[in-house]
């Protein structure tokens, strides 16, 4: 029996916008048999091989202004600057009126806890494990309604909050959440805002995060195959109802997970 050969890698679709992914060709494998190394600012960027070409898969931070960005690229031949354009994207806006302001303003103790956790999460986002196999053929981690998209600009009682850094998928409490692609469990934790959370490491700075889980079914360091259950849908942390908050990180920055669901 013959199987259709799969492409070596399933790259996400390109979207040269804040919160998107830029795919930047860096020459052929013949020009440079060793993979070039690339950096955006101080963050190393994943360079993938596709159809005999090196391609930098660059996560564009959500706070990037439209204009020209520069990638620093190093090959055997030396270092060069590769410029690429980022266009503007106006994400949807949601105004939310809350009667109970205690849900918006934290107590001093909660504030201290939440700030410490944000620092821990920032450190995890910088995790870099070089790998020749990066799990990119993402499938949706759980079937369900897309409740809130990446980039949504939320305004609580007239006060702008950080834009939504992930994709919310609503599903029943207890529904299994599967790894979207192969990876390793980088960390698990129970956070004030995000609740029970799993971080997966797919290699080369590609990470994914699963929040508000009712239960976590994996341990740090555990390898996961695509589709393997990592936890169950819940509403732990600050969540208005059972849903998965799913974030995807590339070169230390959150990008739109939906770009990984539509391979090019
Ligand atoms: Zn969310």
For residue range 188-200, list pLDDT tens digits in order: 999 999 999 999 9
Ligand 1 midpoint to CA 169 (Å): 8
Give whole-number Cα distances, 81 to 4, 28, 57, 73, 162, in Å: 38, 17, 16, 6, 31
Rounded Cα distance between 251 and 22, Å, is: 12
Ligand 1 midpoint to CA 167 (Å): 6
Ligand 1 midpoint to CA 126 (Å): 20
Q: Taking the CA atoms of 167, 170, 171 and 173 in sequence, report the sign of the dihedral they define.
A: positive
| Res. 234: pLDDT tops 60 | yes
Given pLDDT bands bounded at 50, 70 and 90, which one contains residue 100? low
> Which of 187-191, 205-209, 238-242 shows the lowest per-residue confidence on average (mean pLDDT)?
238-242
CB-neighbour burial class of residue 58 (10 A; exposed 0-12, middle 13-18, buried 19+):
buried
Ligand 1 midpoint to CA 146 (Å): 10
Ligand 1 midpoint to CA 109 (Å): 23
Ligand 1 midpoint to CA 142 (Å): 14
| Res. 8: pLDDT tops 60 | no
- The two beta strands, 78-86 and 67-75, are antiparallel
- Return the DSSP state at 4: P
Cross-strand bridge partners of residue 247: 209
pLDDT at residue 88, rounded to an integer: 96
pLDDT at residue 143, rounded to an integer: 94
**Percent above pLDDT 90 for the chain:** 77
Rounded Cα distance between 141 and 228, Å, is: 9
Ligand 1 midpoint to CA 220 (Å): 23
pLDDT at residue 11, rounded to an integer: 86
Ligand 1 midpoint to CA 166 (Å): 5
Ligand 1 midpoint to CA 131 (Å): 29
Rounded Cα distance between 125 and 231, Å, is: 20
pLDDT at residue 156, rounded to an integer: 84
Ligand 1 midpoint to CA 246 (Å): 7
Q: What is the pLDDT of residues 66-96, one digit of tens each?
A: 999 999 999 988 999 999 999 999 999 999 8
| Res. 161: pLDDT tops 90 | no
Given pLDDT bands bounded at 50, 70 and 90, which one contains residue 4? very low
Rounded Cα distance between 33 and 40, Å, is: 22
pLDDT at residue 103, rounded to an integer: 54
Q: What is the pLDDT of residues 29-58, one digit of tens each?
A: 888 888 999 999 999 999 999 889 999 999
| Res. 256: pLDDT tops 50 | yes
Ligand 1 midpoint to CA 63 (Å): 18
What's the pTM? 0.92
Read off the pLDDT of each residue in 3-24 and give the average, rounded to a whole number.
Answer: 78
Ligand 1 midpoint to CA 123 (Å): 20
């Amino acid at each position: 029996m013959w199987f259709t050969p799969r492409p070596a890698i399933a790259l996400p679709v390109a979207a040269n916008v804040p919160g998107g992914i830029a795919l930047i060709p860096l020459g052929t494998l013949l020009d440079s048999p060793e993979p070039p190394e690339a950096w955006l600012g101080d963050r190393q960027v994943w360079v993938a091989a596709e159809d005999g070409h090196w391609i930098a898969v660059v996560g564009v931070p959500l706070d990037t202004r439209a204009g020209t960005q520069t990638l620093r690229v190093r090959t055997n031949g030396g270092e060069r600057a590769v410029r690429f354009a980022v266009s503007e994207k106006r994400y949807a806006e949601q105004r939310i009126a809350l009667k109970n302001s205690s849900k918006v303003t934290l107590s001093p103790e909660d504030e201290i806890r939440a700030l410490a956790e944000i620092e821990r999460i920032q450190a995890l986002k910088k995790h870099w494990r070089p790998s020749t196999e990066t799990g990119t053929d993402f499938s949706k981690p759980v079937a369900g309604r897309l409740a809130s998209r990446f980039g949504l600009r939320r305004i609580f009682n007239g006060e702008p909050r950080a834009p939504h850094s992930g994709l919310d998928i609503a599903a029943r409490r207890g529904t299994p959440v599967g790894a979207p692609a192969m990876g390793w469990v980088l960390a698990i934790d129970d956070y004030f805002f995000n609740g029970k959370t799993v971080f997966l490491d797919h290699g080369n700075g590609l990470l994914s995060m699963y929040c508000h889980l009712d239960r976590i079914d994996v341990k740090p360091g555990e390898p996961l195959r695509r589709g393997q259950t990592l936890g169950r849908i819940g509403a732990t942390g600050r969540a208005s109802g059972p849903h998965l908050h799913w974030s995807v990180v590339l070169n230390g920055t959150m990008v739109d997970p939906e770009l990984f669901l539509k391979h090019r």
